[in-house]
């Protein structure tokens, strides 16, 4: 096989690496460690997508590079294998999800192995494996066993939760209930997103525009008793600790927005006309400085005080509105938000700052789940309140003076606003606070309210507690038993399983279909559900955990995947953590990363991990789009049929027809999906890897191009021919390869290339690293004798990118061992420098001449040479030189 034949080379080296366990990472080595992690895939039935190898190749290159730099590299792969699609498929075909899942994993493993990634396959994890589930359940029990000590800002064992004496006085059951209310994992009756088509409840995050994220099925709201994780307790730390992480500003911002911290005040509005016993209405506001402008209040329709305050005359209208709101999904609530709706309750409240009576309304633009579920409405300074006030003819009172140009621009006057002014300003019409700027007002009014017991400073978050249960079969069972009384009814008390009881595996069931009701399929496994323990009867929890559970800690299991005594050995955890580089798609920017960070912090508080954050550096690879398409309406054209005229593409045949030229997201329906199997079949894994890295910056969205793959394939062919005799029948070195000293320029270019590739690897600029190697290859191609001392380091440079061809060449160059642990080539800075350089000479910033001068030329010599140049002299003669800029060894600019 004398010509480059990846099909012959690649499987052989993959076998070699497998057999020799070349990439096995020793547990605890003296070497510095480097933990480089990919977001593990969900093994879907569709097989690997070209998007997967993009991130995997990037991390693989760095893993191989770091090994050569002497690091102990941890580079693992596994399967996020619980999840809806496998179960959906199972329901449709009657196949057990375990069967489908294992089949899909086998496909994914084959495809990933065919790309030659240097994973330590001994560390492979599968979230559905009972030995993995065991520890997912164990971690859940740790969360269950933890309460959040707000004072010390950390999670602590539930046994350390202070029990108020009045609770203790009520006895053992009361204490347990009190504890259960404070656990980080707790059960609550919550309005959930019930999806009838999927037969499950979905997390808020799994609902997009009122439809299920998977499948786009409609979702309705209904109250249900569910498991919740108290992620909100960690909101502040999740926010603060972002600071020190080496993540892209975009992702950090997305997480910050999701957490949605806002600072303000809670203020109590007393009910008018009420006796001393009537409760006050508490609102949250970020603008306590606008209290004097509050002209009405709004409660969420679900607010618990609504029935109590509604006057008889308004009851019918209020009840009707509440019922209507309850039926509406979130989608309908927002979609119909063009015009605001609401109903007056008939009740009035007293504005605490001025004693004014203001009406209390209910409206669905106020959400029961945020803040206190009630607001004070300041229509002059809040867009939503302004719109509502207009709708219902409520008074609008300006209490912050807008800037004059804003008034002019909007056509407003101080008394007649045409829209709400939401900016800062100086207070007007605000009693004793009139004249204060917004920030100062906020401070003073908050203190004023606190003194009088009317309010206090308050921080609120958009982040909600995490709905953690699903009504599905294919997930981790909760390791929880519900206590039954003598009548077989649940008492509400729970008993966690112990480590010895784990893993609690799924019962084998003939029928794992959803029940069609919010009753989980596991409830049908009667034998499994009913348990007697220590003479007491229990029922197992029949919900299962969501897919996120397994992915919240898999990066820890890789450290010690076969340990059956602990989820990870503490010494190994200390050695490897944190993850030095985590690469994956931006679709996980918020949820997976936030959930994993939350679990990690709980484990950290409980002393099981040593770092407060799991992922030190995070990089999101960009999306790979399909090939460029030229379309007019639905009609597609080829590149040859169109041309560019000015800024747009038109048909060659009819230039009046404008052609849409762009690349689209790959999708089955569009028919533009690229299959990695085919690419590897045709060009080999090395070309696939190289192309995905050469397309452009890792983080950019970029279109696929088969011609581009061909381009890098040709490059590898050129590299091959640099060293291999193509005409020979046997694999042997070309005659041009000789043990001679390289010429000066070749040596310089070699060192320059080492420098460029090394620097680019450090900054993950893979595309330019490849360009540098291409340039060097072009130089070597022109040489008739090619020194071995140049080719060998070059092969090492190439090896992280295209490992199969590099191993093959390395072996042919006479090395019997894999190059995986060869030292990375070093460059000599002295050799990188050229002897002479070309320096442009500008006159008034325009290049007019070029000088070839010694690289280390002194400024004054360069200046003289520039002025003396034949092209420059006539341009400057007789003119006054106003300024002369000399950039050392780089450029001369003469300003006249």
Partner RNA sequence: GCCGAAGUGGCGGAAUGGCAGACGCGCCGGACUCAAAAUCCGGUCCACGCAAGUGGGUGUGGGUUCAAGUCCCACCUUCGGCACCA
Which positions from 42 through 101 interact with RNA, judged by CB under 7 A? Answer: none
Q: Kindly tell me which residue out of 48, 50, 228, 375 binds RNA, with binding defined by CB under 7 A.
A: 375
Q: Kindly tell me which residue out of 250, 408, 740, 855 binds RNA, with binding defined by CB under 7 A.
A: 250
- Rounded Cα distance, 96 and 80, in Å: 17
Q: Does 422 bind RNA (CB under 7 A)?
A: no
- Closest separation between CB of residue 765 and RNA, Å? 6
| Part in contact with RNA (CB under 7 A); list of ranges 134-142, 149-157, 705-713, 737-745 | 705-713
Q: Does 873 bind RNA (CB under 7 A)?
A: no
Query: Which SS3 state, helix, strand or coil, does residue 841 take?
Result: strand
Residue 661 CB burial class (10 angstroms; 0-12, 13-18, ≥19):
middle
Binding mask 804-843 for RNA (x = CB under 7 A): ---------------------------------xx-x-x-
- Closest separation between CB of residue 852 and RNA, Å? 10
Show the DSSP H helices in 197-342 as ranges: 235-240, 249-259, 306-309, 312-327, 330-335
Q: Does 460 bind RNA (CB under 7 A)?
A: yes
Query: Which SS3 state, helix, strand or coil, does residue 200 take?
Result: strand
Residue 823 CB burial class (10 angstroms; 0-12, 13-18, ≥19):
exposed
- Which lies closer to RNA via its Cβ, residue 668 or residue 882? 882
- Which lies closer to RNA via its Cβ, residue 335 or residue 681? 335
The token pair that represents 738 in the structure block: 């000789």
- Closest separation between CB of residue 298 and RNA, Å? 8
Q: Are 8 and 14 in contact (CB under 8 A)?
A: no
- Rounded Cα distance, 475 and 498, in Å: 19
- Closest separation between CB of residue 878 and RNA, Å? 18
- Mapped to the 3 state alphabet, what secondary structure does 637-693 carry? ECHHHEEEECCEEEECCCCCCEEEEEEEECCCCCCCCCCHHHHHHHHCHHHHHHHHH
E-assigned strands of 33-177?
Answer: 33-38, 72-74, 78-79, 125-126, 146-149, 154-157
Q: How many CA atoms lie within 13 A of 562 on its CB side?
A: 5
- Closest separation between CB of residue 314 and RNA, Å? 21
- Which lies closer to RNA via its Cβ, residue 27 or residue 627? 627
The token pair that represents 87 in the structure block: 């179960």
The token pair that represents 284 in the structure block: 């949250």
- Which lies closer to RNA via its Cβ, residue 366 or residue 733? 366
- Which lies closer to RNA via its Cβ, residue 112 or residue 698? 698
Strand 343-350 and strand 357-362: pairing?
antiparallel
The token pair that represents 587 in the structure block: 């679709």
The token pair that represents 182 in the structure block: 């404070």
Cα-trace Rg, the chain: 34
Bridge partner list, 363: none
| Part in contact with RNA (CB under 7 A); list of ranges 131-139, 474-482, 489-497, 880-888 | 880-888
Binding mask 588-617 for RNA (x = CB under 7 A): -xx---------------------------
Binding mask 479-518 for RNA (x = CB under 7 A): ----------------------------------------
CA-to-CA separations, 529 to 153, 483, 515, 872, in angstroms, rounded: 38, 12, 16, 93
Neighbours of 785 (CB within 10 A): 12
- Closest separation between CB of residue 729 and RNA, Å? 18
Q: Which of 464, 417, 454 is nearest to 285 (CA)?
A: 454
Q: Does 280 bind RNA (CB under 7 A)?
A: no
| Part in contact with RNA (CB under 7 A); list of ranges 278-286, 502-510, 514-522, 728-736 | 278-286
- Closest separation between CB of residue 704 and RNA, Å? 9
Its sign, for the CA torsion 490, 494, 500, 505, is positive
- Which lies closer to RNA via its Cβ, residue 201 or residue 770? 770
Q: Kindly tell me which residue out of 397, 588, 702, 752 binds RNA, with binding defined by CB under 7 A.
A: 702
Which positions from 315 through 374 interact with RNA, judged by CB under 7 A? Answer: 330, 333-334, 336-337, 340, 364-367, 370-371, 373
User: If residue 99 lies in a helix (H) or strand (E), which one and from where to where?
Assistant: helix 97-113
Q: What are phi and psi of 725, to 5 degrees?
A: -75, 110
Q: Kindly tell me which residue out of 176, 443, 462, 537 binds RNA, with binding defined by CB under 7 A.
A: 462
Neighbours of 258 (CB within 10 A): 19
| Part in contact with RNA (CB under 7 A); list of ranges 48-56, 353-361, 586-594, 671-679 | 586-594
Binding mask 613-632 for RNA (x = CB under 7 A): ---------------x----
- Rounded Cα distance, 284 and 299, in Å: 11
- Rounded Cα distance, 894 and 701, in Å: 43
Q: Kindly tell me which residue out of 13, 144, 284, 558 binds RNA, with binding defined by CB under 7 A.
A: 284
- Rounded Cα distance, 264 and 288, in Å: 7
Q: Does 2 bind RNA (CB under 7 A)?
A: no
- Which lies closer to RNA via its Cβ, residue 251 or residue 795? 251
Q: Does 191 bind RNA (CB under 7 A)?
A: no
Q: Kindly tell me which residue out of 264, 477, 503, 676 binds RNA, with binding defined by CB under 7 A.
A: 264
Q: Are 351 and 267 in contact (CB under 8 A)?
A: no
CA-to-CA separations, 371 to 283, 301, 610, 654, in angstroms, rounded: 7, 14, 34, 60
- Closest separation between CB of residue 336 and RNA, Å? 6
- Closest separation between CB of residue 855 and RNA, Å? 12
| Part in contact with RNA (CB under 7 A); list of ranges 140-148, 651-659, 708-716, 809-817 | 708-716
Q: 70: Cβ–Cβ under 8 A, 6 or more apart, which residues?
A: 31, 32, 823
Q: Kindly tell me which residue out of 249, 607, 814, 816 binds RNA, with binding defined by CB under 7 A.
A: 249
Q: Kindly tell me which residue out of 44, 179, 262, 444 binds RNA, with binding defined by CB under 7 A.
A: 262
Q: Does 872 bind RNA (CB under 7 A)?
A: no
Q: 746: Cβ–Cβ under 8 A, 6 or more apart, which residues?
A: 779, 780, 783, 787, 790
Bridge partner list, 350: 270, 357
- Closest separation between CB of residue 3 and RNA, Å? 8
- Rounded Cα distance, 786 and 201, in Å: 66
- Which lies closer to RNA via its Cβ, residue 49 or residue 182? 49
- Closest separation between CB of residue 353 and RNA, Å? 15
- Rounded Cα distance, 805 and 4, in Å: 9
Q: Kindly tell me which residue out of 296, 468, 694, 810 binds RNA, with binding defined by CB under 7 A.
A: 694
- Closest separation between CB of residue 744 and RNA, Å? 19
Q: Does 27 bind RNA (CB under 7 A)?
A: no
- Closest separation between CB of residue 509 and RNA, Å? 35
| Part in contact with RNA (CB under 7 A); list of ranges 224-232, 390-398, 497-505, 582-590 | 582-590
Query: Which SS3 state, helix, strand or coil, does residue 237 take?
Result: helix
Query: Which SS3 state, helix, strand or coil, does residue 530 take?
Result: strand
Q: Kindly tell me which residue out of 159, 845, 878, 880 binds RNA, with binding defined by CB under 7 A.
A: 845
Q: Does 717 bind RNA (CB under 7 A)?
A: yes
- Closest separation between CB of residue 87 and RNA, Å? 24
Q: Does 648 bind RNA (CB under 7 A)?
A: no
Q: Kindly tell me which residue out of 177, 718, 788, 833 binds RNA, with binding defined by CB under 7 A.
A: 718
Q: How many residues bind RNA (CB under 7 A)?
A: 84
Which positions from 720 through 779 interact with RNA, judged by CB under 7 A? Answer: 721, 765, 767-768, 770-771, 774-775, 778
Which positions from 772 through 801 interact with RNA, judged by CB under 7 A? Answer: 774-775, 778, 781-782
- Closest separation between CB of residue 707 and RNA, Å? 3
- Rounded Cα distance, 892 and 890, in Å: 7
């Amino acid at each position: 096989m004398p010509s480059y034949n990846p099909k012959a080379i690649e499987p052989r080296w993959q076998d070699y690496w497998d057999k020799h366990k070349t990439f096995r990472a020793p547990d605890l080595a003296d070497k510095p460690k480097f933990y480089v992690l990919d977001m593990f895939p969900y093994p879907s039935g569709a097989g690997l997508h070209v998007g997967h190898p993009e991130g995997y190749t990037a991390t693989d290159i760095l893993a191989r590079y770091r090994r050569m730099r002497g690091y102990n590299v941890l580079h693992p792969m596994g399967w996020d294998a619980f999840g809806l699609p496998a179960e959906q498929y199972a329901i449709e075909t009657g196949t057990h999800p375990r069967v489908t899942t294992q089949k899909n994993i086998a496909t994914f493993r084959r495809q990933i192995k065919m790309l030659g990634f240097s994973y330590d396959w001994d560390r492979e994890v599968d979230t559905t494996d009972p030995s993995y589930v065991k520890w997912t359940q164990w971690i859940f029990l740790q969360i269950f066993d933890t309460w959040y000590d707000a004072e010390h800002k950390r999670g602590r064992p539930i046994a350390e939760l202070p029990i108020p004496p009045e609770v203790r006085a009520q006895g053992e059951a009361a204490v347990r209930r009190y504890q259960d209310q404070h656990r980080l994992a707790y059960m609550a009756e919550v309005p959930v997103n019930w999806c009838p088509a999927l037969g499950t409840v979905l997390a808020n995050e799994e609902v997009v525009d009122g439809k299920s994220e998977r499948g786009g099925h409609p979702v309705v709201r209904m109250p249900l008793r569910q498991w919740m994780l108290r992620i909100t307790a960690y909101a502040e730390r999740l926010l603060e600790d972002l600071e020190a992480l080496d993540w892209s500003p975009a992702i950090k911002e997305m997480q910050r927005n999701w957490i949605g911290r806002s600072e303000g005040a809670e203020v109590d509005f007393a009910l008018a006309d009420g006796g001393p016993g009537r409760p006050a209405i508490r609102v949250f506001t970020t603008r306590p400085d606008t209290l004097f402008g509050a002209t009405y209040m709004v409660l969420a329709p679900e607010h618990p005080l609504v029935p109590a305050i509604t006057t008889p005359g308004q009851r019918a209208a209020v009840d009707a509105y509440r019922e209507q709101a309850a039926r509406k999904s979130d989608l309908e609530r927002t979609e119909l938000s063009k015009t605001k709706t609401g109903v007056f309750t008939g009740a009035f409240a007293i504005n605490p700052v001025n004693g004014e009576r203001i009406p209390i309304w209910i409206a669905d633009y106020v959400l029961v789940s945020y803040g206190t579920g009630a607001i004070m409405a300041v229509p002059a300074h809040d867009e939503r309140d302004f719109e509502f006030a207009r709708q219902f003819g409520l008074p609008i009172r300006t209490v912050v003076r807008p800037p004059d140009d804003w008034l002019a621009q909007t056509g407003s006057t101080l008394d007649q606003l045409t829209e709400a002014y939401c900016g800062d300003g100086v207070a007007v019409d605000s009693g004793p606070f009139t004249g204060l700027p917004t920030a100062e007002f906020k401070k003073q009014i908050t203190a004023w309210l606190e003194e009088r017991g009317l309010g206090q400073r308050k921080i609120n978050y958009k982040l909600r507690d995490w709905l953690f249960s699903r009504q599905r079969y294919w997930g981790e069972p909760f390791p929880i038993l519900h206590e039954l009384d003598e009548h077989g009814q649940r008492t509400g008390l729970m008993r966690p399983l112990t480590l010895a009881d784990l893993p609690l595996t799924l019962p084998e069931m003939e029928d794992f279909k959803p029940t069609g009701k919010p009753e989980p399929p596991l409830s049908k496994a009667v034998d499994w559900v009913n348990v007697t323990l220590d003479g007491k009867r229990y029922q197992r929890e029949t919900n299962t955990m969501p897919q996120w559970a397994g992915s919240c800690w898999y990066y820890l299991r890789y450290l010690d995947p076969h340990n059956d005594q602990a989820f990870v050995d503490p010494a190994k955890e200390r050695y490897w953590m944190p993850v030095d580089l985590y690469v994956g798609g931006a679709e996980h920017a918020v949820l997976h990363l936030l959930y994993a960070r939350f679990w990690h912090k709980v484990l950290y508080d409980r002393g099981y991990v040593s770092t407060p954050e799991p992922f030190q550096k995070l990089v999101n690879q960009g999306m790979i789009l399909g090939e460029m398409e030229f379309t007019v309406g639905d009609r597609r054209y080829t590149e040859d049929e169109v041309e560019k005229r000015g800024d747009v593409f038109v048909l060659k045949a009819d230039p009046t027809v404008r052609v849409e030229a762009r690349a689209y997201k790959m999708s089955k329906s569009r028919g533009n999906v690229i299959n990695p199997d085919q690419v590897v079949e045709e060009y080999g894994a090395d070309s696939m890897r190289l192309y995905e890295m050469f397309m452009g910056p890792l983080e950019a969205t970029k279109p696929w191009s088969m011609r581009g793959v061909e381009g890098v394939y040709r490059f590898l062919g050129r590299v091959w021919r640099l060293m291999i005799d193509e005409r020979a029948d046997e694999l042997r070195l070309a005659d041009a390869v000789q043990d001679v000293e390289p010429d000066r320029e070749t040596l310089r270019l070699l060192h320059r290339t080492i420098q460029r590739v090394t620097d680019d690897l450090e900054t993950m600029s893979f595309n330019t690293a490849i360009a540098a190697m291409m340039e060097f290859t072009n130089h070597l191609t022109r040489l008739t004798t090619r020194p071995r001392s140049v080719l060998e380091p070059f092969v090492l440079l190439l090896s992280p990118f295209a490992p199969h061809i590099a191993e093959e060449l390395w072996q042919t160059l006479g090395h019997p061992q894999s190059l995986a642990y060869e030292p990375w080539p070093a460059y000599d800075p002295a050799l990188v420098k050229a002897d002479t350089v070309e320096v442009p000479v500008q006159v008034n910033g325009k290049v007019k001449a070029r000088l070839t001068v010694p690289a280390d030329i002194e400024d004054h010599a360069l200046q003289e040479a520039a002025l003396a140049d034949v092209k420059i002299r006539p341009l400057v003669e007789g003119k006054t030189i106003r300024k002369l800029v000399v950039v050392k060894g780089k450029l001369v600019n003469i300003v006249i």
